[in-house]
Amino acid sequence: MPELPEVETVVRGLREPLVGRTILDVWTDWPNSLRGADPAAVSARIRGQQVVAIDRRAKYILCRLSGGDVLVVHLKMTGRLYVAQADEVHDADRWVHVRLSLDEGRQLRFSDARKFGFVSVVSDVKELAPNLGPEPLTDDFTPAYLAAQLKRHHKAIKALLLDQEFIAGVGNIYADEALFRAGIHPLRAADSLTKAESARLFGTIREALTAGLEREGASINWYRKPDGTSGSAQLHFMAYDREGQPCVTCGTPIEKIRVAQRGTHFCPSCQPAKRRTARKGRPAQT
């Protein structure tokens, strides 16, 4: 699933062709792509509104409209979002399930092979996700916040990093990359991290996300930029998707386990497992 670097790259790639365009109509052949909303009602609500800005919150793409509504897109696993002239044909068109007709003969197309993504019209993204955590690349995310929140959770640190109410936009790829850079085992209990480890993790979360963003995301499966080209972050992974390959630091083969039902990659030498701190009344785990 695209994460913060991928979604932010899509947002940046859509601004030039989409901001300033006026929505003329909405089409869909898969109502679930509109969260079950009536296509005619959605079209009536946003018809005639102009796209005035595009930004991101967590993994949500937010197209802000002149009438105050927000057109929200979540790419999920296989979603792609791009602007094309009405007569243009693209490879991803075979999976287009939502299409917005725009002025000047353009279309905003939402292609989604597995149909897990969605387009929704709301007044505020909080209607869809009321409890999102802070954005990790903004001033709202601080070392003090991270340290305080870690002490409130006993779950595995990898699982906590995937929780969008804990921190917004981090997913499987960049959680693995941040933990590797910080030298922290993905199964460590969050509240067992020392002050130094917490501070180190704060920095590596930002480092991993910034590196992914500078390389315009990781095109390892379906993710592509709005112009159809690939990002290059996948060429520089240190841990993610490198099972059996030598660690870039020590040469030990990267291992893969499952944490929170997600494939998780780490170096057993650089990220040693430590005894999880036991709470009163519950046994320690190793």
Split into its structural domains, the chain has a count of 2
Q: Which of 76, 115, 262, 274 is catalytic?
A: 262
Taking the chain (286 residues) in runs of 10, the rounded mean pLDDT of each run is: 97 98 97 92 97 98 98 97 97 97 97 97 96 97 97 97 98 98 98 97 98 97 96 98 98 98 97 62 39
Is 126 catalytic? The answer is: no
Same-domain check for residues 97 and 156: no
Look at residues 174, 115, 157, 106 and name the one whose alpha carbon lies nearest to residue 271: 157
Which are the contacts of 187, defined by CB distance < 8 A and separation ≥ 6?
A: 156, 157, 158, 257, 259, 273, 276
Which are the contacts of 7, defined by CB distance < 8 A and separation ≥ 6?
A: 56, 59, 60, 61, 75, 169
**Residue 277 in domain:** no
How far is the C-alpha of 23 from the C-alpha of 242, rounded, in Å? 44
Same-domain check for residues 123 and 9: yes
How far is the C-alpha of 286 from the C-alpha of 279, rounded, in Å? 14
The two three-digit tokens of residue 206, written as one number: 């930002």
Q: Which of 2, 5, 136, 226 is catalytic?
A: 2
Tell me the sheet residues that pair with 85.
106
Same-domain check for residues 67 and 169: no
Is 31 catalytic? The answer is: no
**Residue 134 in domain:** no
CB 60 within 8 A of CB 78: no
The two three-digit tokens of residue 54, written as one number: 């595009």
Q: What is the pLDDT of residue 8?
A: 98
Same-domain check for residues 66 and 173: no
What's the gap between Cα 43 and its chain centre? 27
Dihedral of alpha carbons 32, 134, 56, 215, sign: negative
**Residue 284 in domain:** no
Q: What is the pLDDT of residue 237?
A: 98
In this structure, what CATH number is given to the domain that contains residue 253?
Answer: 1.10.8.50
**Residue 230 in domain:** yes
Is 253 catalytic? The answer is: no
In this structure, what CATH number is given to the domain that contains residue 96?
Answer: 3.20.190.10
Same-domain check for residues 10 and 61: yes
Q: What is the pLDDT of residue 274?
A: 74
Same-domain check for residues 9 and 120: yes
**Residue 25 in domain:** yes
**Residue 271 in domain:** no
**Residue 138 in domain:** no
Q: Which of 45, 56, 57, 59 is catalytic?
A: 59
**Residue 281 in domain:** no
Same-domain check for residues 109 and 153: no
Cα–Cα distance list, 19 to 69, 224, 271 (Å): 14, 20, 45
> Interhelix angle for 143-150 vs 195-214, to 10°?
120
Domain extent, residue 16, equals: 4-127
Is 262 catalytic? The answer is: yes
Same-domain check for residues 83 and 24: yes
Instruction: Give the residue carrying structure tokens 């007709």.
Output: 101
Last residue of a domain, one of 99, 127, 155: 127
Q: Which of 3, 6, 177, 216 is catalytic?
A: 3
Last residue of a domain, one of 127, 157, 178: 127
Same-domain check for residues 150 and 261: yes
